[in-house]
């Protein structure tokens, strides 16, 4: 069946998953449902301890068995040790058919390849994957379907009961012996625990793993003891160098700076740039540079930001430090400056649900004026791909891309026109991950295209001195330089689905086929 972004979703996949094809961003607006609830084992006896010696033991206590779904968060990013540590013990216990439901997975999790190949892991649900796991999925090695869902989409899937997490493992920089967890302190300081809050609320068993046990009460707790079954202390939960690095040096790449300047010029000329506006940006060089140059204009024009959201980095925290923003709403910290900023009074931790879940009673993304995003590919219908590389291999993550893009009043995607030899603006993206209806503007080093559905923005940019072009013109320039690439060749077998934030199917990911040159 052809969905709302023109992608053919095979009937057998719809049948197998029980899902519907994507029908537009607002299709489920007003939908009513009853939330799922976890199994809770009460602790009444005041002599019971939640402390367990090691991961193997805690797995046994949680009743680990074949076919279970395990939850993980990715606040430790590429420095995460938790997933591998847990899965090694699951494997050693001879458990099979496990589904991993993580907020994201990266190259740090390459060791899981072995467990995919031997059937320990049969399902992967994540915002995205990279490295060997991505390659394994694209090679068709995963027994079940990989499901790529956005940060908001993950919360929706868990809250609605579509996914039941049997055991959630929450790596916590600090914990007390009763399971009060904080994202700050200790040696693996990651700032916040936003992505795992839904796990704590909805998983049947919740296991805290820490390398810094502090005395009770570890308050104010980011995740409360009332939701935690067990606490395990290990030597290291992550590599601090890869969890929160020093603030990225501002880019000196002129191409990125130029796109950042274009972006700022666009932002300040759009109607939402006024006292009290709201803003979110990613962590790419151009996005960070945009925040820096926007801060300058805000100062010059005496415009204050009401709130900034993220995925936070130093330039956003600088806004708070310099009194240019009233509040920061934090779901993740990308550098040490952001981690250190968490303790400030106007720096608020929010859960992934508050941030982006489309199936609650209203998330923060709905209140965003601007979001600045990146993309691997954008097509002439403004559909974006942030998950599947132009070589057809899964190598990226949706993150909050589809959530913020759908929520913000002005969604800007920045991408160089050509990435290596690959045109980033193309006729048809390899895989649709964010629908074109969510994207308002695409900024490249060769020019800027406004989505024709935003005639209001086109109108207010008429006198603005920016290199405006149509999206087709941008594509044509790209093709005139590097040529139109031949389509990636896929096998018929579907190995994964790109889930819309509302749980529908945006697109499917097929098994990669070895490229064969055409006769001509």
Partner 1 sequence: MNPNKKRLRRTMMFLNAQKPGLVKDPYIYNPDSIMLDLEDAVAENQKDVARFSLFHALKEIDYRGCERVVRINGLDTAYWKEDIRCAVAGGCDAIRIPKTESPEEVRAVEAEIAIAEKDFNIPVGRTLIMAAIESARGVMKALDVCESSERLFGIALSGGDYTKDLQTRITGTGVELMGARQNMIIAARAAKVQCFDTVFTDLDNMEGFRKEVETIHLMGFDGKSIVNPRQIPVVHDIFTPTQKDIIFAEKVVKEIEEKREKGIGVFTVDGKMIDIAFYDGAKRTIELAKASGVYKGEL
Q: Work out which of 39, 44, 254, 520 binds partner 1, going by CB under 8 A.
A: 254
470 vs 480, beta carbon nearer partner 1: 480
DSSP alpha helix (H) spans, 325-464: 336-341, 352-356, 401-407, 455-460
Of residues 72, 101, 103, the one with CA closest to residue 86: 72
Query: Is residue 446 within the footprint of partner 1 (CB under 8 A)?
Result: yes
Cα→Cα distances 77→153, 203, 388, 477, Å: 19, 22, 19, 36
Count the site residues for partner 1 by CB under 8 A.
9
Q: Work out which of 14, 233, 258, 292 binds partner 1, going by CB under 8 A.
A: 258
Query: Is residue 257 within the footprint of partner 1 (CB under 8 A)?
Result: yes
Residue 367 near residue 345, CB atoms below 8 Å: no
295 vs 305, beta carbon nearer partner 1: 295
Which window, 137-145, 174-182, 247-255, 263-271, contacts partner 1 (CB under 8 A)? Answer: 247-255
What Rg, from alpha-carbon coordinates, does the chain have?
23
259 vs 374, beta carbon nearer partner 1: 259
What is the biggest distance separating any 2 CA atoms in the chain, rounded to whole angstroms? 77
DSSP state of 449: E
217 vs 483, beta carbon nearer partner 1: 483
Residue 8's CB: how many other CB atoms inside 10 A? 11
Cis peptide before 220 (omega within 30 of 0): yes
Tell me the backbone φ, ψ of residue 212, rounded to 5 degrees.
-145, 95
186 vs 423, beta carbon nearer partner 1: 423
Residue 168's CB: how many other CB atoms inside 10 A? 29
CB of 466 to partner 1, least distance (A): 13
Q: Strands 441-444 and 377-379, how do they pair?
A: unpaired
Which window, 153-161, 186-194, 254-262, 295-303, contacts partner 1 (CB under 8 A)? Answer: 254-262
Measured CA to CA, the distance from residue 221 to residue 179 in angstroms comes to 9
CB of 130 to partner 1, least distance (A): 24
Measured CA to CA, the distance from residue 398 to residue 53 in angstroms comes to 36
1 vs 481, beta carbon nearer partner 1: 481
197 vs 257, beta carbon nearer partner 1: 257
Name which of residues 456 to 495 contact partner 1 (CB under 8 A): 480-481
398 vs 444, beta carbon nearer partner 1: 444
186: left (phi over 0), alpha (psi -120 to 50) or beta: left
CB of 254 to partner 1, least distance (A): 4
CB of 446 to partner 1, least distance (A): 6
Q: Strands 447-450 and 441-444, how do they pair?
A: antiparallel
Which window, 96-104, 249-257, 346-354, 497-505, contacts partner 1 (CB under 8 A)? Answer: 249-257
Which window, 48-56, 252-260, 351-359, 379-387, contacts partner 1 (CB under 8 A)? Answer: 252-260
Which pair of tokens denotes residue 273? 């740039």
240 vs 416, beta carbon nearer partner 1: 416
H or E element at residue 314:
helix 314-321
CB of 25 to partner 1, least distance (A): 33
CB of 462 to partner 1, least distance (A): 16
Which window, 31-39, 45-53, 193-201, 253-261, contacts partner 1 (CB under 8 A)? Answer: 253-261
Per DSSP, the residues of 101-125 read EES---GGGTTHHHHHHTTSEEEEE
289 vs 378, beta carbon nearer partner 1: 289
Query: Is residue 445 within the footprint of partner 1 (CB under 8 A)?
Result: yes
CB of 419 to partner 1, least distance (A): 12
Facing residues of 418 across strands? Answer: 423
212 vs 258, beta carbon nearer partner 1: 258
CB of 418 to partner 1, least distance (A): 8
Which pair of tokens denotes residue 506? 């945006």
* Strand residue runs (E) in 428-500: 441-444, 447-450, 490-499
Residue 193 near residue 73, CB atoms below 8 Å: yes
Which window, 114-122, 205-213, 255-263, 422-430, contacts partner 1 (CB under 8 A)? Answer: 255-263
Name which of residues 275 to 294 contact partner 1 (CB under 8 A): none
CB of 258 to partner 1, least distance (A): 7
Which pair of tokens denotes residue 483? 């040529």
Binding site for partner 1 (CB under 8 A): 252, 254-255, 257-258, 445-446, 480-481
């Amino acid at each position: 069946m052809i969905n709302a972004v023109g992608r053919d979703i095979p009937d057998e996949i719809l049948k197998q998953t029980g899902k519907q094809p994507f029908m537009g961003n607002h299709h489920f607006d007003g939908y009513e449902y009853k939330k799922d609830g976890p199994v809770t084992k009460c602790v009444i006896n005041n002599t019971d301890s939640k402390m367990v010696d090691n991961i193997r033991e805690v797995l046994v206590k949680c009743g680990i068995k074949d076919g279970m779904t395990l939850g993980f968060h990715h606040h430790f990013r590429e420095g995460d040790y938790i997933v591998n540590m847990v899965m090694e013990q699951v494997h050693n216990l001879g458990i099979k058919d496990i589904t991993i439901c993580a907020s994201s997975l990266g190259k740090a999790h390459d060791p899981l390849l072995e467990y995919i190949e031997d059937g320990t892991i049969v399902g992967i649900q994540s915002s995205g994957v990279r490295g060997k796991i991505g390659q394994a999925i694209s090679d068709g090695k995963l027994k079940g379907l990989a499901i790529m869902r956005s940060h908001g989409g993950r919360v929706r899937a868990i809250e609605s009961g579509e996914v039941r997490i049997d055991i959630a493992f929450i790596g916590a920089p600090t914990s007390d012996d009763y399971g009060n967890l904080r994202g700050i302190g200790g040696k693996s300081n990651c700032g916040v625990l936003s992505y795992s809050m839904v796990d704590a609320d909805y998983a049947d068993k919740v296991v805290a793993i820490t390398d810094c046990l502090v005395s009770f009460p570890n308050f104010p707790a980011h995740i409360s003891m009332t939701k935690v079954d067990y606490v395990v202390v290990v030597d290291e939960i992550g590599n601090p160098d890869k969890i929160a690095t020093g603030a990225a040096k501002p880019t000196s790449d002129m191409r990125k700076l130029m796109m950042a300047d274009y972006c700022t010029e666009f932002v300040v000329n759009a109607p939402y740039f006024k006292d009290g506006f709201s803003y979110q940006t990613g962590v790419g060089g151009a996005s960070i540079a945009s925040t820096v140059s926007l801060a300058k204009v805000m100062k010059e024009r005496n415009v204050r930001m009401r709130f900034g959201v993220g995925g936070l980095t130093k330039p956003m925290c600088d806004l708070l430090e310099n009194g240019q923003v009233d509040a920061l709403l934090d779901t993740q910290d990308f550098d040490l400056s952001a981690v250190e900023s968490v303790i400030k009074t106007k720096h608020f931790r929010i859960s992934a649900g508050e941030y982006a879940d489309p199936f609650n009673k209203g998330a923060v993304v709905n209140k965003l004026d601007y979001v600045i995003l990146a993309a691997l590919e954008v097509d002439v219908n403004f559909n974006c791909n942030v998950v599947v590389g132009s070589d057809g291999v899964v190598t990226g993550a949706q993150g909050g891309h589809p959530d913020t893009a759908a929520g913000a009043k002005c969604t800007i995607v920045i991408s160089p026109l050509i990435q290596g030899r690959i045109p980033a603006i193309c006729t048809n993206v390899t895989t649709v991950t964010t629908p074109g209806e969510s994207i308002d503007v695409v900024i490249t080093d060769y020019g800027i295209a406004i989505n024709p559905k935003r005639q209001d923005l086109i109108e207010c940019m008429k006198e603005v001195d920016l290199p405006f072009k149509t999206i087709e013109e941008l594509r044509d320039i790209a093709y005139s330089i590097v040529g139109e690439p031949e389509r990636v060749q896929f096998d018929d077998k579907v190995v994964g689905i790109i889930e819309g934030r509302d749980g529908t199917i945006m697109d499917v990911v097929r098994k990669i086929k070895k490229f064969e040159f055409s006769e001509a």
